[in-house]
Chain A
Amino acid sequence: MLEVSNLACSRGDHRLFSGLSFTLHPGEILQIQGANGSGKTSLLRTLCGFLMQDEGTISWFGSEVQGIREEYYAEVMYLGHLNAIKDELSALENLRISAGLSGAVLTDQEAIAALRRMGLKGRETLPTKVLSQGQRRRVALARMLVSEAKLWILDEPLTALDVGAVCLIQELLAEHLAQQGMVIFTTHQPLEVAGMEMRSLSLS
């Protein structure tokens, strides 16, 4: 379980938010809402440890994440604005390498199955620079299928995706939550997860 208490964060001299507290239990999903520039991405990046908070603590199952960084990172999957895929590599190579960096060993069959489910059949071995924006996003999102992380931190996962892919993402989120996973995400598009209560947190 992820516990955030009294978190404050600023960029330069500008205080983005302060006194932010919430708890996320296994099987729960939390949407971060707020206008552009209200600090949604900064909050998610703080949860990943890329930014240091000014005040407050982030705890993972009772211990502060600064102290258990490597154990915590084994349980976190982060999808940012950037796709984190290499143009020169194929979808298959990209997926295998990113799974490898997150600590898992992925066979070709598993990777191909994941890419096919993401609707990339026949494009597994093409360099990703020849794929469209939406297809590249799908390659990035294929990490959700092969990830064993408990906590998913998703920053605008739905950008550039078509209706079919959005449905697929909703399915994946539902599966992840059913396996006692946790999700924190931001989006400006409507996202429904069947049978789940969507909590939301507003940054202002």
Chain B
Amino acid sequence: MSKSTKFEIELNVDGEVIEVSIRSHHLLVDVLRNECGRVCVKEGCESASCGACTVLIDGTPRLSCITLAVDAVGTDICTVESLSAPAGPLHPLQASFIENHAIQCGFCTPGMLLSASALLQAKSNPTADEIKEAICGNICRCTGYVRIIQSIAAAAKAIHRSSP
């Protein structure tokens, strides 16, 4: 079989409804990058091992490399672009990653930020072990994890300080 059934679907990506034409075997990571312009979604391992393709689906971290695009219809998909507006202030996690030098090549950063974002939604003051557990599926091969963990902890504190 060379081609599978074609679908016209709508995806809700970062609050924007995007109409795309896909085939049934198309994976969400490819559709987000190639059809929705979200090249912030990275693909590293192609084996569900590295977490670079992490997006939030209805608030939960999911790997877009093992999610069919047709299966994402009717869900809210958030990429790292949803964390802050282009002209607006950075999300505290983004600011903290910069402040704490938690970015080197940056390839893992979108997935790291989204996993961390889901964690901070669930736990406002996570322990180091909880942070490690939350990002255990996100592999970094250059920055190292110490600064990333520090950044997430610092962002949690910053969010807590700014809360009314």
The answer on A and B forming one complex is no
Interface residues of A (CB under 8 A from B): none
Interface residues of B (CB under 8 A from A): none
